[in-house]
Chain A
Amino acid sequence: MRRLSDKQYQRQSMLAMAAYVGVMLGVWPLVRTVTGLPLKVLLALAPVLPMLYMIWLMARRIRDSDELEQRTHLIALGAATGLVGALSIIGGFLASAQVWRVDGTILIWVFPALMAGYGITRWWVASRYGMSLSCDDESRVPLYQRFLLLALTFGVVAWCFRRSLDDRSLGTLCGIAASFAVLGLMIGIARWRRRKHRHGEDLP
């Protein structure tokens, strides 16, 4: 299997995310209108398909990375797994004892929590090893656009689940979407100002 370049990886990840948003908007709402159980299950699980593609892309990227990169991937995945495992057991006991009023639908947050833990730890480990993960050069999708896309994704999920989710979960989703949007805008403005400043320096 041929090796994916960073540009191809970025483009295909964006495509997977766009497909996820598309499925959440176009296909998932149909689950409430159909009656047959097999079709209902298929429609309910439709958003998992783009996620499977995303996992496959990540697996290829990890497989093709060099030894130092694999080290950062391993530390990040190990830390994220340990953290989510510990939090889930604590949360599970608190929920079982009804100290924390939450039901089993919180399971949908396990994968995003794993990915967030992986992303943050990898960034931290890579910066300790002196590697750069900013990926904000001209050849790739700028960081601010990725944050805005994440904001859009969370916003769409919040909109799709607005009837089934309780107020707290819906508020959390909207809060995450707003945070990503603010972060994306801040990075975008900083980038614009940096470019403007650089452009000003280039003028005679």
Chain B
Amino acid sequence: MTRNPLTARYLREFVPALGGYIVVLPVLPMWSVMRATVRHMLRQEMQQRIELQAVAVTCAVVGILTFSVGFLQNVKLLPSPPWLMLWVLPVMIGSYGVARALVTRRYR
């Protein structure tokens, strides 16, 4: 089926603009969220220590996990579907929550 040139031009102009809107829009409030979170983490010395340990553990867990999975995918020992990237943030949030709870219990 041949596409109408006017429809093709419409899609050519509309789709990238919509894509840009979808991509750029979440990034702007994300900056405010990050700033507020970091300020909240720094409110007192003990809090800073707990948050630092929790965030460091999160980075280590996510780093080791993604690096290992990436290597296994590269030799085709694991499948590599495109949606796998969607799991990075939930794993980050999960490991941060667990690490923070454990560190807080240690300092209690």
Contacts and interface: CB of A to CB of B under 8 A. Distances in A.
Contacts of B49: 70
A13 interface: no
Given A98-B82, A111-B66, A114-B63, A78 B75 contact: no
Given A74-B51, A105-B70, A161-B74, A95 B56 contact: no
B77 interface: yes
Contacts of A89: 26, 85-86, 88-89
B103 interface: no
B5 interface: no
Contact of B67 (A67, A71, A84, A111): A111
Nearest to A70: B52
Interface in B67-90: 67-75, 77, 79-89
B53 to A, nearest CB: 9
A120 interface: no
20 contacts: A40-B75, A41-B72, A45-B71, A47-B67, A47-B71, A51-B64, A58-B56, A73-B52, A74-B38, A74-B41, A81-B59, A85-B93, A88-B85, A88-B86, A94-B19, A96-B86, A104-B73, A104-B83, A105-B74, A111-B62
Interface size class of A (residues with CB under 8 A): 35 or more
B104 interface: no
A25 interface: no
A178 interface: no
B35 to A, nearest CB: 9
Contacts of A84: 62, 88, 92
